[in-house]
Structures are given as structure tokens and as C-alpha cells.
Amino acid sequence: MPLELVTIPCLADNYAYLIHNADTGQTAVIDVPDAAPISAALKERGWMLSDVLLTHHHWDHVDGLADLLADYPANVIGAEADAHRLPTLNATVADGDRLAICGEEMQVLDVSGHTLGHVAFYFAASNMVFTADSLMALGCGRLFEGTPDQMFDSLSKLAALPPQTLVCSGHEYTQSNAKFAITIDPENAALISRVQQVEQARAAGEATVPSLLSLELSTNPFLRCTDPAVQATVGMIGADPAAVFAEIRTRKDNF
């Protein structure tokens, strides 16, 4: 059976995620922006915490950890490359590592770009990938530390996962991302429809994440750098897709 997934709004626009194996009773959390909503979700379900997976070092993904561990001692896992600026880790991981989390194999993917040492966590059996601030709904993270080429390679790695994979990203940025995306891919019928759905969801106070990778592949401009229509919009027909990505990222930064 796939792991149970709980999406937890935190802070102003962050998300943390719980995954739970009903057979083993194991529960993991991916990122800890704030302890209180995560603790509330655990208490509501009567779950104990076995593991904490940290995607990267930014404060809005780790600041609630100490308070959470005070009530729920757990094994904390993060990237070896980021260990010097993450909270204290019980285990470090690197690209390609595989380990059992909640009774299921989890694969670590280096998705540097937003930061160096940013990782994603892929659960193939449950069709879920936790991408935080790398691949996001209708967008990708700003390049605070990495290069456009690094982020392009990271997104390409994620885009190669099965299309039925659920992309669990770290922020409720979809509405603002949609306003930019439509400027890059204005004739994309799937994107036009998605923009409308996002507007309706947010007006109703509903979350727009997670999202299916198949939907991102058809609507997210950062994954569509080989598409002729996208290339035409940015005046780069036939250009290297990595260069097209860099142009789109620059335009988003200045949007």
C-alpha cells in the first residue's frame, strides 16, 4: 500500500509533509518550518515520529526542528553536502543514496540550484517526490546559490521521473507562478485551464500543492525549455534548452 500523505500548511506560505505507514506505524516529516502545526497533525492522528528529512538549510524549512524534537524525538536526516549548516543530523545522505523510510525505499536526488546541497526525496513505490524549493508548482526556486545550469540539470532529473509522480513542493507560490507562466506560454491550453483552476482554488482557500508531474510537464515553463512555442516567446528558437531555461529564470526574477 502507498504511504499515507498529509500536507501541512506552515508559516505564511510553507508546507511540511507527513508520510505514514499504517502497517509499521512509522511516520516521517519532510521539512520543519514550524513545530506547532506538525505536532497538531501528529497528535490528531495518534502518530509517533520516526524520521525527519530535511531538504535544505533555509530557516523556513528547519526552524521548527528543535521544538518538534522536544516532543517527538526522531532520526534526523539531511544532505552530507549541507551538514555544516543544517541542524545536527543523525545521518547524512548524498545523491543516489537509497534507504528505508517508513518501510519503503527512498532515493536521494541532488537538486542543487536554489541552494547548493539541496536534495529531494523520491519514494517510487508511493509515486511521491519531495522537492521543496527545486521543482515547484508552475515554477522553480530562485537561484540563491547555484547556477542556471545546475538548476536545469536538477529539474531535468526530476522531469525524468514517472509522470504519475506526485510533486510535493515547499511553498504556496502557484498563483504568482501562474501569472508569470502565462507570459511565457500564452497559447498553452493546458496552462490556461490550470491558471483558472489555481485562481478558483486559492479563492476558496484551498492548497494547490502537491501537483502531478504530468501536469508540471505540460504547464510549467521551466520544464518546457525544448518546446518550440516557449522558445519562440523568449526569442530563442533552436537554442540550447539550458540557455532557454536561464532566460526564463532571469525573466521570472525580474517579473
Domain locations along the chain: 4-253
Tell whether 61 is in a known binding site: yes
The answer to whether 8 and 16 have CB atoms below 8 angstroms apart is: yes
Cis bond upstream, residue 210 (ω within 30) = yes
Q: pLDDT tens, 39-58?
A: 999 999 999 999 999 999 99
Q: What number of other Cβ atoms are within 10 A of residue 157's Cβ?
A: 17
44 grid coordinates: 490528531
Query: Mean of the per-residue pLDDT values for the chain?
Result: 98
Tell whether 58 is in a known binding site: yes
Question: Quick one: pLDDT band at residue 1, thresholds 50, 70, 90?
Answer: confident
Tell whether 31 is in a known binding site: no
d(Cα 140, Cα 185) in Å, to the nearest integer? 16
Compute the average pLDDT of residues 93-112: 98
Tell whether 20 is in a known binding site: no
Q: Are strands 75-79 and 91-93 parallel, antiparallel or unpaired?
A: parallel
> What's the pLDDT score for residue 28?
98
CATH superfamily of 4-253: Ribonuclease Z/Hydroxyacylglutathione hydrolase-like (3.60.15.10)
Q: pLDDT tens, 56-86?
A: 999 999 999 999 999 999 999 999 999 999 9
Tell whether 114 is in a known binding site: yes
